[in-house]
DNA sequence: CAGTGGTCTAGACCACAGT
DNA sequence: CTGTGGTCTAGACCACTGT
């Protein structure tokens, strides 16, 4: 294990600097799965930070799923980190890039519509109020991956229909143009069979296995700002998750 | 919002006491989604704890997905907490109880076998070494939910075949009898169609949508201690997840 | 016993948001 | 400007693990 050190003139928080060094040790294989990381005391001694700061480093790694800590024993390296993080709000674009794939989208339709009842309930919208419905086909390296149907309340996104163009990142645009930032999202995943029209777009046989995602995104003030239904190809997509024994 | 207080004679950590009170406010509806919780300073003032302890309370709620914190703004209540937590290592029994369902199991088979190649690779076992294979049908309120096939290395669990009986919790037994505790697990979920023999056990039509779970559980020292393949009925099971904007 | 992480204190300075 | 959460310090006592 390389000796640890920090740069106190840097604007990067000390615990982040130390975390980066420890992550480098782990990713390089110098700290393999099951091995013991330096203790809080030891990190504090080597770097000159206080024990609370050293502790913050180790807790952070623990929450990332990279390590496991046990009182009286120490902090141990867990298995190699997984490529997909199921816990974080991410756009399709971000997710595909993280997997090393080239994302692309095709807009299937963009209309102002009366929302289906599920979207209306999720968005707490009165009957007869219209919302924007954006349907897109999502591709990775040119291969169809999913169909995404977003419902966006009109009052939150005035003039959306004209402002949104192909190739734009929806989340970036909502944040930059409307100052709307999704802070948290609830997602439900179901296993289903591809319906004929979806199958055609996804280029799979009708009745093929698919994931059905339903997502409701919320703002800081608790308002629902997006309702999304997506169909993912079961043969090209998998959910990966790391579980911890304890609730942090 | 009720005034906060703590009992310093209690053995429950102060931040947990405060967290319980805040959770009660949220669950009762007195602190609805989008409302502002007391600030760190305010909690410290009301309870007499230090600001760092008050802070620990709010960070903990944030990590549980109950709140969202923003510098300069405060800590806001997120939507009602979801019933299933996809992040925590849980047995089928624990999970069903959390959903208010009555779990039951039927042992389909328990044999010492040469493991399939996937299990062998996951468990890092040499060819020709045998492992225990426990196959169980899982039921909730009497309705078949899933088929679970666990592969357990013989050397970790001597005499397992004779010690394990129906009705026992596998995880409890592994911990109590063998001192083996799964600290972390990696899980992969795929969408698939029910094969004929699984469909019969699950009482669904062949070709029905199912979730295919693959789980590898690890000990503190990084050793793989369990490889599990499960098939869940797609019509009775759904994955629920809460996503946060930030990586904690 | 010494070493580990878990909790806690009473301060400090900072970046950011809203006035 | 005040108030918020984010980072950080230099101590403290505790529960748990190993020898």
Whole-number pLDDT of residue B207: 96
Protein A73 CA to nucleic acid D19 C1', in Å? Answer: 13
Q: At what angle do helices B40-47 and B14-28 cross, to 10 degrees?
A: 110
User: For residue B1, is pLDDT > 60?
Assistant: yes
Torsion angle defined by CA atoms of residues B71, A246, B184 and B136, in that order, rounded to the nearest 10 degrees: -130
Residues B112 and B48: their CA atoms lie apart, in Å, by 59
DSSP conformational letter for B53: H
What's the predicted TM-score (pTM) here? Answer: 0.84
* Mean pLDDT to the nearest integer, B149-157: 92
Residues A78 and A153: their CA atoms lie apart, in Å, by 43
Query: From the alpha carbon of B71, which nucleotide's C1' atom is closest?
Result: D5
Whole-number pLDDT of residue A180: 85
User: For residue A84, is pLDDT > 60?
Assistant: no
A205 at B interface, C-beta within 8 A: no
User: For residue A80, is pLDDT > 90?
Assistant: no
- Chain C bases closer than 7 angstroms to a protein Cβ: 3-12, 15-18
Residues B15 and B51: their CA atoms lie apart, in Å, by 11
Whole-number pLDDT of residue B246: 62
Beta carbons of B186 and A83 less than 8 angstroms apart: no
Whole-number pLDDT of residue A87: 56
**pLDDT tens-place string over residues A4-31:** 899 989 999 999 999 999 999 998 889 9
Chain B residue numbers with beta carbons less than 8 Å from the beta carbon of A184 are: 65, 68, 78-79, 242-245
Q: Round the average pLDDT of chain B to a whole number and report it.
A: 88
* Mean pLDDT to the nearest integer, B223-242: 90
**pLDDT tens-place string over residues A208-248:** 999 999 999 988 888 889 999 999 999 988 888 877 776 55
> How many angstroms separate the Cα of B81 from the Cα of each of A120, A157, A199, B77?
21, 27, 34, 10
φ, ψ at A157 (rounded to 5°) = -130, 70
Whole-number pLDDT of residue B86: 57
Whole-number pLDDT of residue B247: 57
User: For residue B152, is pLDDT > 80?
Assistant: yes
Residue B156 to chain A, least CA–CA distance (Å): 17
pLDDT-derived band at A135, boundaries 50, 70, 90: very high
The first and second tokens of residue B162, run together, are 């004779």
Beta carbons of B239 and A213 less than 8 angstroms apart: no
A51 at B interface, C-beta within 8 A: no
Whole-number pLDDT of residue B100: 79
Protein A76 CA to nucleic acid C3 C1', in Å? Answer: 15
Whole-number pLDDT of residue B248: 52
Whole-number pLDDT of residue B88: 61
User: For residue A155, is pLDDT > 90?
Assistant: no
User: For residue B103, is pLDDT > 60?
Assistant: yes
B71 at A interface, C-beta within 8 A: no
pLDDT-derived band at A92, boundaries 50, 70, 90: confident
Q: Choose between A54 and B34: higher pLDDT.
A: A54
Whole-number pLDDT of residue A85: 52
Q: What is the CA radius of gyration of chain B?
A: 22
Beta carbons of A150 and A241 less than 8 angstroms apart: no
User: For residue B87, is pLDDT > 60?
Assistant: no
Residues A19 and A172: their CA atoms lie apart, in Å, by 28
Q: Choose between A82 and A133: higher pLDDT.
A: A133
Q: Would you call B112 helix, strand, or coil by DSSP?
A: strand
* Mean pLDDT to the nearest integer, A78-89: 59
Q: Round the average pLDDT of chain A to a whole number and report it.
A: 88
Q: Would you call B231 helix, strand, or coil by DSSP?
A: strand
Residues B63 and B77: their CA atoms lie apart, in Å, by 12
Spell out the SS3 assignment of chain A: CCCCCCCCCCCCCHHHHHHHHHHHHHHCCCCCCCCECCCHHHHHHHHCCCHHHHHHHHHHHHHCCCEEEECCCEEEECCCCCCCCCCECCCHHHHHHHCCCCEEEEEEEEEEECCCHHHHHHHCCCCCCCEEEEEEEEEECCEEEEEEEEEEECCCCCCHHHHCCCCCCHHHHHHHHHCCCCCEEEEEEEEEECCHHHHHHHCCCCCCEEEEEEEEEECCCCCEEEEEEEEEECCCCCEEEEEECCCC
A84 at B interface, C-beta within 8 A: no
Residues 158-177 in B having a C-beta less than 7 A from any atom of strand D are none
């Amino acid at each position: 294990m390389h000796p640890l050190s920090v740069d106190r003139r840097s604007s990067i928080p000390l615990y982040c600097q130390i975390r980066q060094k420890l992550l480098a040790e782990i990713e390089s294989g110098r700290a393999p799965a099951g091995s013991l990381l330096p203790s809080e005391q030891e990190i504090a001694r080597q770097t000159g930070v206080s024990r609370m700061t050293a502790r913050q480093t180790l807790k952070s790694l623990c929450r990332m799923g990279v390590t496991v800590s046990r009182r009286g024993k120490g902090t141990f390296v867990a298995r190699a980190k997984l490529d997909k993080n199921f816990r974080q709000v991410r756009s399709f674009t971000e997710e595909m890039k993280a997997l090393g794939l080239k994302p692309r989208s095709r807009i299937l339709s963009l209309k102002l519509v009366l929302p289906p009842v599920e979207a209306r309930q999720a968005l707490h919208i009165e009957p007869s109020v219209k919302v924007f419905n954006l349907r897109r086909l999502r591709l990775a390296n040119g291969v169809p991956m999913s169909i995404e149907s977003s419902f966006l309340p009109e009052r939150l996104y005035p003039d959306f229909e004209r402002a949104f163009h192909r190739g734009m990142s929806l989340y970036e645009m909502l944040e930059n143009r409307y100052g709307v930032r999704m802070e948290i999202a609830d997602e439900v995943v179901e296993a289903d069979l591809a319906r004929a029209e979806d199958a055609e777009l996804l280029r799979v046989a009708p009745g093929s296995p698919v994931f059905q995602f339903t997502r409701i995104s919320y703002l800081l003030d608790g308002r629902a700002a997006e309702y999304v239904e997506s169909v993912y190809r079961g043969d090209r997509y998998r959910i990966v998750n790391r579980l911890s024994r304890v609730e942090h």
